[in-house]
């Protein structure tokens, strides 16, 4: 019942959209605080990073509870990371750069942290596009898995982007960096018990 | 054993499914409430305060009546925005949280030491200073280096009046300011985000310029802690961080004094830090700004005070002396 994968996926899909939905609702009610653009930019960025890190938690979780069940959520979490990252970039382009392509490109070239963030989003695009079952079949499990190793780079770029952009209080970005290091280090450990082979869906 | 359950006791499938859906709906609703609650808890700043004590003498004791010639007629930013969006790391590095963290900050009694290259160095009580000078409302633009700006109706007096009172000596070329150091009241001073106490400085001609004020009020009310109570500097043609808050010491010096942000990141924050859309900041393009409560707009040279202060920098390379 509750552990039914279909219901569990619905649970995850709905809940991942809650922060975005509340933000949109608040935006229409002009309740995003004193500097709404800054709030929306900061929050979508954090959400993108959080969901990216959550996708990296799936494998450790699988090994920890010795079950493949968490794999059902990885695609959803990853896609939400992509959507929040895309929203983050759109808010920046529309409200911070006022739809000025020239000044956006200038920003990307002149400010390393924006370059790294843009790169992270760019690399998430092929991952989002190839996330469907159809795509997995077309690429084949082996090539698909290789491509999706890009998520490690996306996460690293995202965390560095956050660290560099913060003016002085590096506490939160440092926490994200530590969590990321732990999640990446986990993958360097040999798997103790190999879980049943599963084509992640 | 299997026979002990009668077939009529088996739950009909329709009932079983509808019960299951009910449970699922409940779980879904519960999870959404939990996620929503978590999101709210993590993103909400403290609720805004709306009270502020009246200034002891709200009426300006300045001889001139009516608006100051230095006022801007642009739309003033709301009191709620000005008092709930503050960069004051001594209290918190979260702008929305400063108001709450600083609400018990003690501003009476308050003394300010005026020292250095002056004729009559003295430690004043704030009330004594306010009796010596003429305060009036000044509606100034304020531009933060981060790329946002406000229009703020300060209440204060020209710094020049105070300096004239103590008589600067000939060798005085700069004015140095220091904020209170009190980690018990200012919890942020226990962290090493910046070196404490916060310090700032101006060239003497910048300090003596009529635009430069020491503010002790906002919207006709006493300054609240989050805005730098009880006395803070306002230099409207420079980035906001030059407006040092909760001042305890003013010193006239011969050499250029240290500035906290300049110490932290010398490539990003220069001593002058004049608002200049043509000087790129490593972190933010300074060509435009977000006017709080409105939208994006072009940033003006010297924050729109070029006519008043441009002459102070005639012949200076403003990129080198950023």
Residue B247: strand, helix, or coil: strand
Give A95's contacts in chain B (Cβ within 8 Å).
Answer: 296
Q: What pLDDT digit, counting tens, does each position of B197-235 carry?
A: 999 999 999 999 999 999 999 998 999 999 999 999 999
CA distance B36 to chain A (A): 6
CA-nearest residue of chain B to A15?
Answer: B32
Contact in structure between B148 and B290 (CB atoms under 8 Å): yes
Angle in degrees, 0-180, between the axes of helices A150-165 and A36-65, rounded to the nearest 10:
140
CA-nearest residue of chain B to A35?
Answer: B292
CA distance B209 to chain A (A): 30
What is the pLDDT confidence band of residue B46, given thresholds at 50, 70 and 90?
low
Give A167's contacts in chain B (Cβ within 8 Å).
Answer: 146, 283
CA-nearest residue of chain A to B24?
Answer: A2
Judged against a pLDDT cut of 70, whether residue B3 lies above it is answered with no
What is the pLDDT confidence band of residue B192, given thresholds at 50, 70 and 90?
confident
CA distance B318 to chain A (A): 20
pLDDT of residue B206: 98
Q: Which residue has the tokens 């300060």?
A: B154
How far, in Å, CA of A9 to CA of A12, rounded? 5
For chain B, say whether A29 makes contact (Cβ under 8 Å). Answer: no
CA distance B53 to chain A (A): 23
pLDDT of residue B57: 47
pLDDT of residue A1: 43
For chain A, say whether B31 makes contact (Cβ under 8 Å). Answer: yes
Give B95's contacts in chain A (Cβ within 8 Å).
Answer: 34-35
Q: What are B228's two structure tokens?
A: 């730098």
What pTM was computed for the model? 0.89
Whether the upstream peptide bond of residue B197 has omega within 30° of 0, thus cis, is yes
Question: Contact A22/B287, CB-based, under 8 Å?
Answer: no
For chain A, say whether B267 makes contact (Cβ under 8 Å). Answer: no
Q: How many CB pairs under 8 A join A and B?
A: 75
Residue B274: strand, helix, or coil: strand
Q: How many CB atoms lie within 10 A of CB B144?
A: 21
The 8-class DSSP code of residue B59 comes to: S
CA distance A142 to chain B (A): 36
Q: What is the pLDDT along chain A (201 residues), one digit of tens a residue?
A: 457 888 999 999 999 999 999 999 999 998 999 999 999 999 999 999 999 999 999 999 998 899 988 988 999 999 999 999 999 999 999 999 999 999 999 999 999 999 999 999 999 999 999 999 999 999 998 999 999 999 999 999 999 999 999 989 999 999 999 999 999 998 877 665 555 555 565
Q: Which of A5, A34, A100 to mutate to test the interface with B (most CBs of B within 10 A)?
A: A34
For chain B, say whether A102 makes contact (Cβ under 8 Å). Answer: no
Strand order in the sheet with B247-253: B122-125, B111-116, B247-253, B174-179, B199-203
pLDDT of residue B77: 97
For chain B, say whether A6 makes contact (Cβ under 8 Å). Answer: no
**B320: Cα within 13 Å, side-chain hemisphere:** 4
Smallest CA-to-CA distance from B112 within B127, B129, B124 is with B124
pLDDT of residue B2: 57
Give B147's contacts in chain A (Cβ within 8 Å).
Answer: 96
Domain boundaries, chain A: 5-188
pLDDT of residue B12: 82
What's the mean pLDDT when you consider all of chain B?
91
How far, in Å, CA of A162 to CA of B103, rounded? 30
Question: Contact A111/B283, CB-based, under 8 Å?
Answer: yes
For chain B, say whether A197 makes contact (Cβ under 8 Å). Answer: no
For chain B, say whether A22 makes contact (Cβ under 8 Å). Answer: yes
CA-nearest residue of chain B to A30?
Answer: B293
Q: Which of B32, B261, B294, B297 to mutate to test the interface with A (most CBs of A within 10 A)?
A: B32
Judged against a pLDDT cut of 90, whether residue B45 lies above it is answered with no
For chain B, say whether A106 makes contact (Cβ under 8 Å). Answer: yes
For chain A, say whether B74 makes contact (Cβ under 8 Å). Answer: no
Level-2 CATH architecture, domain B45-313: Alpha-Beta Complex (3.90)
Q: What pLDDT digit, counting tens, does each position of B54-92 carry?
A: 555 444 555 555 678 899 999 999 999 999 999 999 999
CA distance B191 to chain A (A): 9
Q: What pLDDT digit, counting tens, does each position of B12-23 carry?
A: 888 877 888 899
Question: Contact B89/A35, CB-based, under 8 Å?
Answer: no
Angle in degrees, 0-180, between the axes of helices A112-129 and A71-91, rounded to the nearest 10:
140
ipTM for the complex shown: 0.87
Residue B116: strand, helix, or coil: strand
């Amino acid at each position: 019942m509750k552990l039914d994968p279909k219901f569990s996926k619905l649970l995850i899909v709905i809940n991942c959209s809650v922060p975005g939905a509340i933000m949109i609702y608040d935006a229409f009610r002009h309740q995003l605080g004193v500097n709404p653009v800054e709030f929306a930019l900061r929050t979508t960025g954090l959400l993108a990073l959080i969901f990216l890190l959550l996708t990296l938690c799936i494998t450790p979780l699988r090994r920890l509870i010795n079950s493949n069940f968490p794999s059902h959520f990885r695609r959803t979490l990853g896609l939400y990371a992509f959507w929040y990252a895309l929203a983050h970039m759109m808010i920046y382009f529309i409200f911070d750069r006022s739809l000025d392509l020239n000044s956006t490109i200038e920003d990307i070239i002149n400010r390393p942290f924006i370059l790294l963030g843009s790169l992270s989003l760019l690399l998430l695009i092929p991952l989002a596009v190839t996330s469907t079952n159809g795509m997995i079949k077309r690429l084949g499990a082996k090539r698909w898995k290789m491509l999706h190793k890009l998520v490690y780079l996306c996460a690293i770029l995202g965390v560095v982007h956050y660290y560099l952009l913060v003016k002085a209080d590096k506490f939160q970005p440092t926490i994200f960096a530590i969590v990321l290091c732990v999640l990446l280090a986990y993958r360097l450990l040999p798997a103790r018990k190999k879980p049943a082979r599963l084509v992640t869906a | 054993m299997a026979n002990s359950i009668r077939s009529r006791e088996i739950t009909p499938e329709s009932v079983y499914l509808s019960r299951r859906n009910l449970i699922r709906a409940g779980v879904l609703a519960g999870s959404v409430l939990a996620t929503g609650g978590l999101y709210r808890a993590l993103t909400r700043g403290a609720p805004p305060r709306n009270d502020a004590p009246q200034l002891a003498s709200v009426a300006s004791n300045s001889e001139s009546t009516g608006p100051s010639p230095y006022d801007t007629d642009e739309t003033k930013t709301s009191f709620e925005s000005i008092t709930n969006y503050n960069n004051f790391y001594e209290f918190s590095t979260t702008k929305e949280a400063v108001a709450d963290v600083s609400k018990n900050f003690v501003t009476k009694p308050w003394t300010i030491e005026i020292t250095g290259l002056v004729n009559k160095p003295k430690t004043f009580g704030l009330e004594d200073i306010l009796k010596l000078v003429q305060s009036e409302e000044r509606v100034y633009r304020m531009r933060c280096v981060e790329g946002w700006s406000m229009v703020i109706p300060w209440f204060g007096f020209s710094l020049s009046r105070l300096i004239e009172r103590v008589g600067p000596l000939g060798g005085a070329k700069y004015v140095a300011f220091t904020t209170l150091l009190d980690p018990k009241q200012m919890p942020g001073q226990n962290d090493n985000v910046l070196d404490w106490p916060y310090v700032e400085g101006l060239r003497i001609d910048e300090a003596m310029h009529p635009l430069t004020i020491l503010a002790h009020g906002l919207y006709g009310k006493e300054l609240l802690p989050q805005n730098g109570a009880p006395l803070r500097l306002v230099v409207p043609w420079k980035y906001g961080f030059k407006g040092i808050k909760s001042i305890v010491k003013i010193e006239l010096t011969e050499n250029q004094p240290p500035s906290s942000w300049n110490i932290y990141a010398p490539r990003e924050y220069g001593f002058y830090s004049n608002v200049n859309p043509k000087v790129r900041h490593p972190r933010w393009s300074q060509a435009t700004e977000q006017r709080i409560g409105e939208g994006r707009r072009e940033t003006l040279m010297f924050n729109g005070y070029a006519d008043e202060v441009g002459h102070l920098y005639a012949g200076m390379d403003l990129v080198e002396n950023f």
